[in-house]
Structure 1
Amino acid sequence: MKRTTIAAIAGVALTGLLAGCSGSGGAAETAGTVTIRVQGMPAATDAAGLTQFKQMVANFEKVNPGITVEGSTNVWDPLTFSAKLAGGNIEDVIQVPLTEPQGLISRKQVTQITGQLAGWKHYDELNPQALAPLSDARGGVYGIPQTLYAQGLVYNRALFEAAGLDPDNPPATWDEVRAAAKQIADKTGKTGFLFESTENQGGWQLSMLNYAFGGEMEKEHGDGYAPAFNADPTKKALELLQKMRWVDRSMGGSQLNTQNDVIKQFAAGGVGMYLGTPGTYKLAKVNFGMQNPGDFGVTSMPQSGGEATLTGGQVFMVPASVTGAKLDAAVKWLVHAYAEPTYDPEVAAAQAEMLSKDPASAVGVPSLPFFDQAHQELIDEAIKDFVNVDLEHFASYKKGTAKLELKAEPVAAAQAVYGILDTVVQAVLTDEHADIAALLDKAEQDAAAKIKAAGK
């Protein structure tokens, strides 16, 4: 299913506040109380989120009287995970980015939960696309998504108008992006297009361009994987950035940027376009104080031969050390906290009504559905009175992304490969005479070594 749609509470991580009414599968083992530790609890500084989490736990324990839930504010750390798993010092439910599941599955560090999930009455209605990155070659499922996204192009509608561009007709190709960026820079003096380049985010965004230009990031090689980015699509993408930076002068003067750097400049009205998702609307509005959120526009990923975009997100999984009653309890928690609330229109409507009263909320921002389109339309209808964003400003994103292939992030050593490609992006954006072919040759060698070291 290549569709995007309106999520009931996009931008809000904790979706289970009112889910207690639907239950999650009955009581735990009769031998006694089972205690599970779960990641995903907000820090004390997020008072509203912490309140939601505690209520979600209370609702769960009420319908599952044999299970006690202890929240953890720990976050995913690939450098310490293996040691914690070996030492038995890892939570029973962990939250990981979508770059990690395939590696965890292949190393047998997480547990298959297909049998437990199959007992949930709506299991067969889950979006296969949402489960694919969490499944092995035989179709065994190892987790539940929390958030899923597809990358697109975010743009400032006010800057488009100031530059003489039509904000209701955003760029659909990378030639059009280049032209629009130059026009914004020439007409307004602002940065036309800004690209992330540090903290592995440069390699991540180069992967997005690679897909849009028709490339691949890796390929199966014997019993493992090999890098595949050293090819024409990536070269063309880097040549585009090189021309925008040094010929058009449309990418501004600050090139070593994280995602937060980019969105902060965008929210201040200084950037015309960047690669992002509808979910960055809330970051611009809340985290960085965008004065007029109505200026936020987003369209599907522009294409130059790929007809594809990168998808990603956050997921919850169960470590391999968790078995028996704890495993059953962990899966019940996953269903209760992250699956049921996205299925029940009444729950979605109640949450949307509550969230719409918060000025910092973003109800109605599109994301990828957990279930089929027909069911998602029921959710959309249930929340329509509480949507507090301008849906027209997301329309081209929904329409365009529905036609694209959604391609997952690299399976093998993704973060390490992204870090290697950071240096390539940085060189192109800071050295007018950077040798793209030589940079990619070196990056391919380094990436192959990282993939081999990771056992992939």
Structure 2
Amino acid sequence: MVRISRFVLIAGCVATALTAAGCSSSSKSGSGSGSGSITLHVQGMPPATDRAGTAQFQQMVADFEKANPGIKVQGSTNVYDPMTFSAKLAAHTVEDVIKVPLTEPQRLIAQGQVRSITGQLQAWDHYKEFNPQVLAPLSDAGGQVYGVPQNPYAQGLMYNRALFTAAGLDPDKPPTTWDEVRTDAAAIAEKTGKAGFVAESKDNQGGWQLTMLTYAFGGDIEKKTGGKYVSAFDDAPTKDALNLLKSMRWSDNSMGASQLNNQTDVVKAFAAGQIGMFLGSPGTYRLAKMTYGMTDTASFGAAAMPQAGGGATLTGSDVYMVPKSVDAKHAEAAAKWLIFAYALPAYDTTAAAEQAKTLAADPKAAVGVPTLPVFDAARQAQIADAIKPYVNVDLSHFTPYTSNLAALKLRPEPEFEAQKVYAVLDTVMQAVLTDKGADVDSLLAAAHKSVDATLSADQK
């Protein structure tokens, strides 16, 4: 069980949704124009709509190139797409540094598709101060580390404080149980005419949401038996979660009119004041404000994920890795970039403060949104103090989230072929939310067989 003793309030770019538009082909690692120089192609550059994040990224590139005169960095706005990623990786058309969700590292490590960066990390003075639970999902059984995380998070219950008030609910006391979620969602729908609670159900995000719910109800999605992964969700916790959604959708009519949603749909509607609650991380505050123009940001509230039956809260992050196909020279440069761009800003108080100051210069930016700690508690406290002058979010609205983190059991996403599992579970979520007569037991039995067949085929 992971116990987080402190949270960190650091500046960072918008967390990318699990799926996005398809990536265009990137050029292979190539030489720069100068003698002995190289050009490093890296994912992680924010979209043009994120002006503060883009300015921060460009400054980071300039600082890195100044410190490493033989390396030129070319940023890419390409993002992870589960439909095309594996093919691009196999064809060696991805960048020298790739950005993937936490569902992917274990598969990429097992398949030998990414490079270990253990040596470079261990040579860094502060390697031993990493939170070991942050590195564990990025490591193999022998302790070799293959990536650096950015903005790790724990999922929670995001809610609209204004709609809580309009429904006669206390915005400082959001739900702490699933029964309370159901009751409050019904009250919001009845009193305001808005959706009390909305779940994502497409683009693999339905499976992701069902994983959050399964964990929260004390269940599992997959397990390892005899050295191989098999599905583990055809049991009471997942059934209880789905039956809760079914009751909210069809008995309470508290989930709104639109049921085929991805994260973009949900956060956009939330930003417009149309949704009372959804499952997400505090990082969606940035999406709501910076990408979807949420003007009433004082209405954004964040609470811990309700638990049931010894449940756990799903944790995740974006992860930066180096493909195995990258040559040694570019791989060495890539490791330097990972430490400079993602490890150092999360550790160094001066760098963290400079990033926060850069972001705070843009009135549309969000500085201080809580994340999970990358380093030990002592360092995280120093980082929080360093960026305090630039924090521009109302931290009291995140207190129901941050004050409960220490008591939560945190679990990462499924280790093996999570995206393929999510794709199957999407169909289950969609059926429950769109078909009043959907039979949960039958849906899960069919999904169980389908996932086991997929996992078996991929482990031959």
Return the TM-score normalized by structure 1: 0.91
Query: Bigger CA drift: 251-260 or 31-40?
Result: 31-40
1:214 alignment partner AA: G
1:420 aligns with 2:420: no
Q: Percent identity?
A: 60
* Counterparts of 2:136 and 2:82, CA distance in 1: 22
Inter-CA distance 286–48: structure 2 relative to 1 (3 Å threshold)? closer
CA contact (8 A) 1:213 1:233 kept: yes
The question of 1:136 aligning with 2:137 is answered no
Shift of 1:127: 1.0
Q: Does 1:213 align with 2:232?
A: no
Moved over 6 A (4+): none
Which of 112, 116, 123 is matched with 2:116 structurally?
112
Letter of the structure 1 residue corresponding to residue 353 of structure 2: A
Do the aligned residues in 2 keep the contact of 1:35 with 1:67 (CA within 8 Å)?
Answer: yes
* Corresponding residue for residue 450 of structure 1: 454
CA-CA distance at 1:438 after TM superposition? 0.3
- Show the counterpart of 1:367: 371
Is residue 436 of structure 2 the alignment partner of residue 432 of structure 1? yes
Tell me if structure 1 keeps the 8 A contact 2:82–2:419.
no
Does the aligned pair in 1 maintain the 2:14–2:283 contact within 8 Å? no
Say whether 1:252 aligns with 2:256: yes
Stretch of structure 1 that moved more, 275-284 or 434-443: 275-284
Q: Work out the CA distance in 2 between the residues paired with 1:87 and 1:420.
A: 26
How many residue pairs align between the two structures? 440
Greater alpha carbon shift after TM alignment, 322-331 vs 247-256: 322-331
User: Structure 1 154/90 Cα, relative in aligned 2: closer, same or farther at 3 Å?
Assistant: closer
- 1:149 alignment partner, SS class: strand
Deviations 1:31-50 (A, max 9, x none): 93344322223455655544
Aligned pairs for 1:278-297 (under 5 A) are 278-297=282-301
Q: Trace 1:232-251 onto structure 2 (pairs within 5 A).
A: 232-251=236-255
Instruction: Spell out, residue by residue over 1:319-342, the C-alpha distance to the aligned partner (whole angstroms, 9 max, x if none).
Output: 112343322221111100111111
Distance 2:342 2:128 in 1: 16
Q: 1:277 aligns with which of 274, 281, 292?
A: 281
CA contact (8 A) 1:278 1:366 kept: yes
Secondary structure at the residue paired with 1:194? Answer: coil
Q: Assess if the C-alpha contact under 8 Å between 1:412 and 1:454 holds in 2.
A: no
The answer as to whether partners of 1:301 and 1:401 remain within 8 angstroms in 2 is: no
2:1 is the counterpart of 1:9: no
The amino acid that maps onto 1:32 is: G
CA drift of 1:159 comes to 1.1
Once residues 433 and 172 of structure 2 are traced to their aligned partners in structure 1, the CA distance between those partners, rounded to angstroms, is 30
Cα distance in 2 between the residues matched to 1:395 and 1:389: 12
Describe the SS at the equivalent of 1:166: coil
Give the C-alpha shift of residue 51 in structure 1: 3.8
Cα distance change, pair 350–243 in 1 and its aligned pair in 2 (3 A): same
**Aligned pair 1:164/2:168, yes or no?**
yes
- Amino acid in structure 2 at the alignment position of 1:132: A
User: What's the RMSD between the two structures over aligned residues?
Assistant: 2.0
| 1:235 positional shift | 0.3
* CA distance in structure 2 between the aligned counterparts of 1:124 and 1:385, rounded to whole angstroms: 28
| TM-superposed deviation, 1:256 | 1.2
In 2, the alpha carbon distance for the partners of 1:13 and 1:79 equals 19
> How far did residue 366 of structure 1 move?
0.3
Number of the residue aligned with 2:199:
195
- 2:405 corresponds, among 395, 401, 404, to 401
Counterpart among 348, 354, 372 of residue 352 in structure 2 = 348
Matched residues in 1 for 2:400 and 2:60: separation? Answer: 35
Is residue 2:158 matched to residue 1:154?
Answer: yes
> Which is further off, 391-400 or 66-75?
66-75
**Offset, 1:180:** 0.9
User: CA, structure 1 residues 274+221, in 2 after alignment: closer, same or farther (shift >3 Å)?
Assistant: same
Question: Is 2:378 aligned against 1:377?
Answer: no
Contact 1:255 / 1:429 at 8 angstroms: preserved in 2?
Answer: yes
Q: State the shift of 1:421 in Å.
A: 0.9
Residue of structure 1 in register with 2:129 after alignment: 125
Verify the 8 A CA contact 1:33 1:66 in the aligned structure 2.
yes
Instruction: Tell me how far apart the structure 2 counterparts of residues 375 and 210 of structure 1 sit (CA, whole Å).
Output: 33
Question: Residues 42 and 352 (structure 1 numbering): CA distance in 2 closer, same or farther, change over 3 Å?
Answer: closer
Matched, 1:184 2:185: no
In 2, Cα distance between the equivalents of 1:37 and 1:211? Answer: 37
Q: Output the CA distance in 2 between the equivalents of 1:71 and 1:360.
A: 22
Shift of 1:272: 1.1
For structure 2, the residue ranges without an aligned partner over 5 or more in a row are 17-34
Q: 1:74 to 1:11 in 2, by over 3 A?
A: closer
Secondary structure class of the residue paired with 1:284:
helix
Structure 1 pair 260/76, CA: closer, same or farther in 2 (3 Å)?
closer
